[in-house]
Structure 1
Amino acid sequence: MLEHGGRLNKAAERWGIPRSEWLDLSTGINPIGWPVPDIPAELWQRLPEADDGLEEVIRQWTGAPLTADCVPVPGSQAAIMALPRLRKPCCVGIPVPGYREHGHSWRNAGHTVIPIGPEQTRCGASGCDDRWLDQLDVLVWINPNNPTGEIIPPSTLLRWHQRLQERGGWLVVDEAFMDATPVFSLCSHAGLPGLIVLRSVGKFFGLAGVRAGAVLADAAVADALKRTLGPWPLGGPARFVMAQALSDTAWQRQARTRLHHSAGRLRKVLQSAGHAVAGGSALFQTVPSDSPQSLADQLAAQGVLVRAFEHPGMLRFGLAANEGQWRRLEMALAGKTCD
């Protein structure tokens, strides 16, 4: 099992600080989540109904065309683990750095994982050389990237997809952090053969605990994924919460504005504390560090939990939820105790 953000119980035990006294900025999840309403009691008592309209809600949320299949999944993590089982062992490109569960899952399924770095994807003065794609059968891309926040424009991703698809290849795009920047989404192109887009309600909606997401794909991939996941992969209460949240467009507009403002504030806080900001998204900011774990431990000793990455050395900071938390982060970065 790979290490991830969160793990607050473990931090509380290690540092001897009660769980209630922590400021957890380690996960990149919206700290002001969508307000969950009361869940109808019957949803706890009945098996989920596949024809409850959720797939159409997902289509409207993402802007996917009618040619795309929309598959509800128990978090995009479920899709990350299932998709490698839909192909025979092949060569799979994985961005480095990036969310490590992708490479972990494809490797565990018997595929050959090939790290893809910025030097391969960068275009020069003479144009873009995409020949690196010819060694791959599948390319997984994370957009925006986690933890760097880098965004690849849709035109580039579609060019990559076309080159892969000429040989029956796949482009898998993980858009778990895309909701704050929907103009860069590939969902409007979903349904093209070999294009697979993963979406999540955990990050932007602040609903990580519900474990809900969606896969947008062509019918062949979608049908194979449904068979692999089996019946009722997403429970009735989760389907209800997901449908309600995705339909609340007014909340989504307000959340985007608030998140972009908070991301700007986080950059200023980090820079004021002497840290260069290497990248980020509307939900997190990343700073480079020669000793990321040491800095993470310094903050943890003050009850502030962040996510450390050793290769390359960096720390990822999530957003504070209120003025008290912003003040506490500023004090922790200054090495002071907040009374």
Structure 2
Amino acid sequence: MQGTPRALVGEFARHGGRIDLARAVFPHVENWTDLSTGIAPWPYPVSLTAAATEQLPDPGDLSKLEAAAAVSFGVDPTRVVAVPGSDLAMRLLGLMLGRRSFVFRAAIVRPGYSGHAAMWGAYKPAACAFDDIRLMAPAHDVLALARPNNPDGLVADPLLLEWAALTVAKRGGHVIVDEAFADADPANSLAGSDWPGLIVLRSFGKFFGLAGLRLGFVLAQQDIGTELRALIGDWPISGPALATGLAAYSDAEWQIAQRGRLATASKRLVELLTRHGIAIVGCTAFFTLVSVRHRDRLFVHLAQAGVLTRPFDYEPRWLRIGLPRDERDWAKLDEALSSWRMR
């Protein structure tokens, strides 16, 4: 390991899951516990046949997947478009919506997911806080935000977002709500809302613990869905993702158990961090955001103990910590925090 803590942290501040970089920067660490992503650490069991990888994806299976997802989301299947990951969907939506208006104005709510800023390509969107939505919506064509928010867990008032959607829709605009972490509490989702101008993004990989499958969904009015389907082509979802997604969304019992695991672990994580004197900024069922005076040093300390967390370049005190998978990982995190307090 070379460089100051601040210089080292900067390399990890763009995205979570950089185990490859962690191995290069901290070569003495043999076994990593990755708490940097916010992905559920208990994956849905994957069972694939040879046909899933040997044959072209069946369009009928795509329709079945979208129908099963629609039931899970509580939305009409005609509003559901399966996409190869919600991050790609954001960039396609940015392309689609950006070319609809000669004078295009987009705004993103900050702090938030970095993909919301990147989805517009060369265009630089305006940034605002949640408290500024009432000021920004009347002056913009698109407003993008996460709910619950990443990384602080804030859940925006649905009445405020309904007003914003109706406001921008008067000019043909849209409110994009990224619900990547909404599956833990489906009753609080906006997926079933039929407000004009509302587009909801859902992620498969975070709740089902299978981010590598690259599967997500766009929930929108049919004109958006039709245009999006034309962009992603005839086989947008791989055979393995189709088979696994259909099985997972049809498995209500597993989903209930997963929500229980997330609720129990997220509560335990908050209790653990509080016991070690670490201030909690906010949380979701998938991660907890903390504020630490010497954040960079804590990040490096945890990494040297084999625990990878997620720093942020725009807030020098913040560190996001995901859920440990098993008792070994819980013990590793606990021991690393104990030795930090004794420094």
Verify same fold: TM over 0.5: yes
Given candidates 17, 20, 31, the residue that maps to 1:6 is 17
SS in 2 for 1:199: strand
- The residue correspondences of 1:42-61 to structure 2 (distance < 5 A) are 42-52=51-61, 53-61=64-72
Given candidates 53, 71, 74, the residue that maps to 2:84 is 74
**Matching of residue 205 in structure 1 with residue 208 in structure 2:** yes
**Matching of residue 294 in structure 1 with residue 303 in structure 2:** no
Given candidates 82, 90, 96, the residue that maps to 2:104 is 90
SS in 2 for 1:160: helix
Please, what TM-score do these two structures have when normalized by structure 1?
Answer: 0.91
> What is the alpha-carbon distance in structure 1 between the residues aligned to residue 29 and residue 213 of structure 2?
25
Which residue of the partner structure matches residue 329 of structure 2? 325
Give the letter for the 2:32 counterpart: W
Shift of 1:18: 4.7
> What is the alpha-carbon distance in structure 2 between the residues aligned to residue 10 and residue 131 of structure 1?
41
Given candidates 134, 154, 157, the residue that maps to 1:153 is 157
- The residue correspondences of 1:177-188 to structure 2 (distance < 5 A) are 177-188=181-192
- The residue correspondences of 1:204-223 to structure 2 (distance < 5 A) are 204-223=207-226
Report the identity percentage: 37
> What is the alpha-carbon distance in structure 1 between the residues aligned to residue 293 and residue 59 of structure 2?
50
Shift of 1:323: 1.4
Which residue of the partner structure matches residue 252 of structure 1? 255
Q: Kindly tell me the number of residue pairs found equivalent between the two proteins.
A: 323
Please, what TM-score do these two structures have when normalized by structure 2?
Answer: 0.90
SS in 1 for 2:127: strand
Give the letter for the 1:105 counterpart: M
SS in 2 for 1:133: helix
Shift of 1:111: 3.3
Q: Deviations over 1:269-302 (max 9, x none)?
A: 1111111100010000000134433221111011
SS in 2 for 1:28: coil
Q: Deviations over 1:310-331 (max 9, x none)?
A: 3123000000111121111011
Q: Deviations over 1:114-166 (max 9, x none)?
A: 10114414xxxxxxxx2431111100010011111111132322121111111
**Matching of residue 195 in structure 1 with residue 198 in structure 2:** yes
Given candidates 163, 166, 174, the residue that maps to 1:162 is 166
- The residue correspondences of 1:261-272 to structure 2 (distance < 5 A) are 261-272=264-275
SS in 2 for 1:51: helix
Shift of 1:173: 0.7
> What is the alpha-carbon distance in structure 2 between the residues aligned to residue 144 and residue 50 of structure 1?
32
**Matching of residue 15 in structure 1 with residue 13 in structure 2:** no
Task: Please tell me the root mean square deviation across aligned C-alpha atoms, in Å.
Answer: 1.8
> What is the alpha-carbon distance in structure 2 between the residues aligned to residue 204 and residue 113 of structure 1?
29
Structure 1 residue runs without a partner (length 5+): 122-129
Give the letter for the 1:14 counterpart: V
- 1:48–1:234 contact (8 Å) kept in structure 2: yes
> What is the alpha-carbon distance in structure 2 between the residues aligned to residue 291 and residue 232 of structure 1?
48
> What is the alpha-carbon distance in structure 2 between the residues aligned to residue 105 and residue 214 of structure 1?
16
Judging changes above 3 Å, is the alpha-carbon distance between structure 1 residues 112 and 23 closer, same or farther for their aligned structure 2 residues?
A: closer
Shift of 1:112: 4.0
- 2:152–2:283 contact (8 Å) kept in structure 1: yes
Give the letter for the 1:263 counterpart: S
> What is the alpha-carbon distance in structure 2 between the residues aligned to residue 332 and residue 176 of structure 1?
29
**Matching of residue 111 in structure 1 with residue 137 in structure 2:** no
Q: Deviations over 1:83-115 (max 9, x none)?
A: 011122611111111001111121x1x434010
Give the letter for the 2:126 counterpart: I
Given candidates 101, 105, 111, the residue that maps to 2:115 is 101
Q: Deviations over 1:216-275 (max 9, x none)?
A: 111111111111222212111111101111111111111111211111110011111111
Give the letter for the 2:177 counterpart: V
Give the letter for the 1:245 counterpart: A
SS in 2 for 1:277: strand
Select between 284-293 and 159-168 the one with higher mean Cα deviation. 284-293
- 1:97–1:312 contact (8 Å) kept in structure 2: no
- 2:92–2:228 contact (8 Å) kept in structure 1: yes
- 1:153–1:184 contact (8 Å) kept in structure 2: no
Give the letter for the 2:35 counterpart: L
Structure 2 residue runs without a partner (length 5+): 1-10
SS in 2 for 1:188: coil
Which residue of the partner structure matches residue 241 of structure 1? 244
Which residue of the partner structure matches residue 41 of structure 1? 50
> What is the alpha-carbon distance in structure 2 between the residues aligned to residue 91 and residue 64 of structure 1?
29
Judging changes above 3 Å, is the alpha-carbon distance between structure 1 residues 119 and 131 closer, same or farther for their aligned structure 2 residues?
A: closer
